[in-house]
A and B are shown apart, each in its own frame.
Chain A
Amino acid sequence: MSEITEADVRDEVRRYLEDNWDPNRGLVEWRVMLAESGWGMPHWPKAWYGRGLPLGMTSVVDEVFAEFGAVGVAKMGIRVLAAATILEHGTDAHKKKYLRGILTGEETWCQLFSEPGSGSDLAGAATRADLKDGKWIINGQKVWTTSAHHAHFGLLLARTDWDAVKHKGLSYFILDMHQPGVDVHQLKQMNGHASFNQVFITDAVIEPEGQVGELGEGWKVATTTLMNERRGADSARKYDSASTLPERIYAEERAEIATVMAPYTWYPQRTGRVDLLVERAKALGKYDDPATRQEIAKVLTLAKSAEWTARRARAASAAGKPQGPEGSIGKLAASIVARAANQAHTKIAGPDAMLTGDDDGTGGVVAEILVSTPAISIAGGTDEIQRNIISERILKMPKEMRTDTDRPFRDVPRNQV
């Protein structure tokens, strides 16, 4: 057999699930079996919990799992980024130590990149890693860290060389979060939720084996993590609804999903919920008001055009055509849509827009929209950064003059936190 076909894969997965799938098993017990079999991550190497199949075959495997209603390995949250980074840059010792706990879901991860002083300027990280008596001693502050409060491990970007230029002085580490020098505080947002954390790191210790990639190559390793984060944004969506079947394994999976998704319940509201505009206008008798109709029509025009632009980008990429500007303008368009939708919802709600919680007439959904949309133009790359990307990378306009990348990092002006 020179090349494996789709039909072969389908048969093989079916046989495996017929022999082994049992929804009355425990979630971890099943995932240990899956990890050992390689069917949990079929595109991973055979040596490391995979079957070495081409990436394209994973959708075939997913389809058969869906037929059986079979639960997969843990794929939600930062652990996916940790796995991708470790597979690409980690040593065999890293893979042996971490991959299995990632797949079974027993170990949770977080990403320690952003800092109070380095947001848009992520490579400006100033958390220190100093080698003392053969161990890395970590000091600094990280922020916007989802799941840090229950994570076992953190993917850490820290500065190991202050005389090197900005991007060359960073190294990448795995930080054990359960140690005295790591202090996690929840960060409350203006919409009342606390989806993120601040992590204060004081003389935390990392053994030399905790370094991932070469010294000074931390930015390169972080790029792998970030690229997977971007890729994962789309595929993560299918996990937000769990099976409602009664067997033990589904109940355990539901509990896991609930925990991981808890910080994100307001995420739909930050988009502005364009889907609710027409129904709300009708319900509140504003649908025939000419001024309100104009507002709604403008938002719908923007939102539909943005949606179709995204679909054009996906269609082009599926057809193997080079990507046009469509792919890069989506995030900026989303900000504009969210802002306009916020205003339209305000106009539709009228005086009820002053109320929140049970009193706003929608169980707090509209009130949450009104105080959540500002997030979308900041998180994951501000509008300003998006405009720079569009103008410099797509329109090929001259880049901003940089004065921070040509000198030792210790000489680069920065905020003292």
Chain B
Amino acid sequence: MQFSFSEEQEEFRSMLRRFLEAKSPPSAVRAQMATDQGYDEAVWKSLAGELGVTALHIPEDFGGAGFGVSELAIAAEEMGRALLCAPFFASTVMAATAIMHAGSDDQKRALLPDIASGEVIATLAAAEPGAGWDRDQILMQADEAGDGYMLTGSKSYVLDGMTASRLVIAANAPNGRLALFTTSADARGITRTPLKSMDPTRKLARIDFGNVPVELLGTVAHGVEAYAQTMDVMLVCLANEMNGGAERLREDALEYVSMRMQFGRSIASFQTTKHKAADMLLDVELAKAAGYSAASALDDQDADARAIASMAKAAASDAYIQTAVHAVQMHGGIGFTFDNDTHLWFKRAKQSDVFLGDANQQRERMMQHWGAGA
């Protein structure tokens, strides 16, 4: 496990932070969250083109940069900090990872380069209405149709499901084993409906399938493990993204109490404020340690990496929610207003808390895998 970032990694983080401070200040976040599309195409082009973040962890053979999960997690952390509105998580973290783990070499050659270049936005449709992302909760059945498969049923909470042009879908093969399938998002038989997302910086959709022909990614035999590996990467990136948001909230709250005067003194001089600020630092730093270590464990193919991925998501969930609650409180009444920016991150914290499974579910998944490799 790696316990410090390399100089190159630090440089990458600084560059991305500068870019996002310029391109994704709260005013830009507010502008994008009010649109249906939910992201700025010029910013997306720069992210993909100049910065190459859409290609980060995709192997060089398939048009990518060949970095690891650690670098992907740095990008996610910085985007969470800036609350960037962009399809990075859906396309690069979710869909590209799924294709990398499940697809055949031919499929990777066909699909990954366009995702790596940012020209194609893809997403992963796994959860179904009212249910979560656990393998057991995915009930959609894929039927054999000639040489391929056909999907019927509904997926929900699909991240950037309205804007994606390519879908990766988790469904059960005729033998009952989970497998990953793919299709163009405008295939006949697909109906996409936008959902009202509590966090308007994250666009969600419901996708209904009626006899839609789809292509199996790789083999049915490898589907379960491919989905689990994809989940590991998604959880680690989400955890780091959440930690980035939590740290930003923590810093903003500290800045606010430092300038706010009541009773003739800075409210930062009250011990209750100082202790809260100290607790917030503790919460966020512990969660960051778990997030970074989980990314490193995945890169190292550590035997406990799966358990640690869930541990990191659970830690991030608890830390982000706690930090968001404290951040609103430290701002007082103004923190509850729409014009103050705190609620933008508060809503992301609530959304991310349940996205891909809440802290309780992650702790359960962690305990199922803890020591599994020993």
Contact = CB atoms under 8 A, between A and B. Distances in A.
Contact of B272 (A143, A190, A347, A384): A384
19 contacts: A120-B263, A121-B263, A190-B347, A350-B358, A351-B132, A351-B156, A351-B354, A355-B195, A359-B196, A360-B198, A370-B198, A374-B335, A374-B336, A374-B346, A382-B329, A400-B263, A413-B264, A414-B264, A415-B260
B195 A359 contact: yes
Nearest to A343: B321
A378 B157 contact: no
Nearest to A367: B198
Nearest to B354: A353
A358 interface: yes
Nearest to B276: A384
Interface in B337-368: 337-340, 342-343, 346-347, 350-351, 353-355, 358, 360, 364
A189 interface: yes
B92 to A, nearest CB: 21
B204 interface: yes
Interface in A357-384: 357-361, 367, 370-371, 374-375, 377-379, 382-384
A353 B350 contact: yes
B332 A357 contact: no
B199 A354 contact: yes
Contacts of B340: 190
B338 A354 contact: no
Contact of B261 (A339, A349, A361, A415): A415
A118 B262 contact: yes
A264 B273 CA distance: 30
B325 A190 contact: no
Contact of A403 (B265, B333, B354): B265
Interface string A190-219: 101000000000000000000000000000
Contacts of A360: 196, 198
Interface in A369-413: 370-371, 374-375, 377-379, 382-384, 387, 400, 402-404, 412-413
Nearest to A294: B360
Contact of B131 (A339, A351, A353): A351
B272 to A, nearest CB: 5
Contacts of A248: none
A190 B337 contact: yes
Interface of B: 127, 130-132, 156-157, 195-199, 202, 204, 259-265, 270, 272-273, 321, 325, 328-329, 332-340, 342-343, 346-347, 350-351, 353-355, 358, 360, 364
A350 B328 contact: no
Given A371-B343, A384-B270, A415-B259, A354 B355 contact: yes
A23 interface: no
A60 interface: no
Contacts of A328: none
Given A354-B204, A357-B196, A412-B264, A189 B337 contact: yes
Contact of A187 (B130, B199, B273, B337): B337
A346 interface: yes
Contacts of A292: 360
A291 B3 CA distance: 33
Interface string A167-192: 00000000000000000000111101
A116 interface: yes
A144 interface: yes
Given A187-B337, A339-B325, A354-B197, A371 B346 contact: yes
Interface size class of A (residues with CB under 8 A): 35 or more
A124 interface: yes
A356 interface: yes
A252 to B, nearest CB: 34
A384 B272 CA distance: 8
Nearest to A358: B196
Contact of A189 (B197, B273, B336): B336
Q: Binding site of B, secondary structure by majority: helix, strand, loop or mixed?
A: mixed
Contacts of A107: none
Contacts of A355: 195-198, 204
A120 B262 contact: yes
Contacts of B325: 339, 374
B125 to A, nearest CB: 13
B264 A403 contact: yes
A22 interface: no
A382 B331 CA distance: 11
Contact of B329 (A189, A377, A400, A404): A377
A374 to B, nearest CB: 4
B203 to A, nearest CB: 11
A62 interface: no
Interface string A78-98: 000000000000000000000
Nearest to A382: B332
Nearest to A415: B261
Nearest to A354: B351
Given A284-B130, A350-B132, A412-B264, A379 B196 contact: no
A355 B197 CA distance: 5
Given A379-B333, A387-B272, A403-B265, A188 B338 contact: yes
Contact of A351 (B130, B259, B338, B364): B130
A374 B132 contact: no
Contacts of A187: 337, 339
Nearest to A370: B350
A291 B360 contact: yes
Contacts of A414: 261, 264
Nearest to A383: B329
Contacts of A50: none
A78 B127 CA distance: 49
A352 interface: yes
A346 B353 contact: yes
Given A190-B337, A351-B354, A124 B196 contact: no
Contacts of A232: none
A119 interface: yes
Given A187-B337, A377-B329, 16 more contacts: A144-B333, A189-B338, A190-B346, A291-B360, A347-B358, A351-B130, A352-B130, A353-B350, A354-B157, A354-B195, A354-B198, A359-B196, A374-B335, A384-B273, A400-B263, A414-B264
A187 B337 CA distance: 7
A350 B350 CA distance: 11
Given A119-B332, A387-B272, A404-B265, A371 B350 contact: yes
B86 to A, nearest CB: 18
> 9 tightest A-B contacts by CB?
A404-B264, A190-B343, A188-B338, A121-B262, A291-B360, A357-B196, A374-B328, A356-B198, A359-B196
A356 B329 CA distance: 23
Contacts of A378: 328-329, 332-333, 335-336
Nearest to A414: B261
B157 A351 contact: yes
A369 to B, nearest CB: 11
A107 B130 CA distance: 49
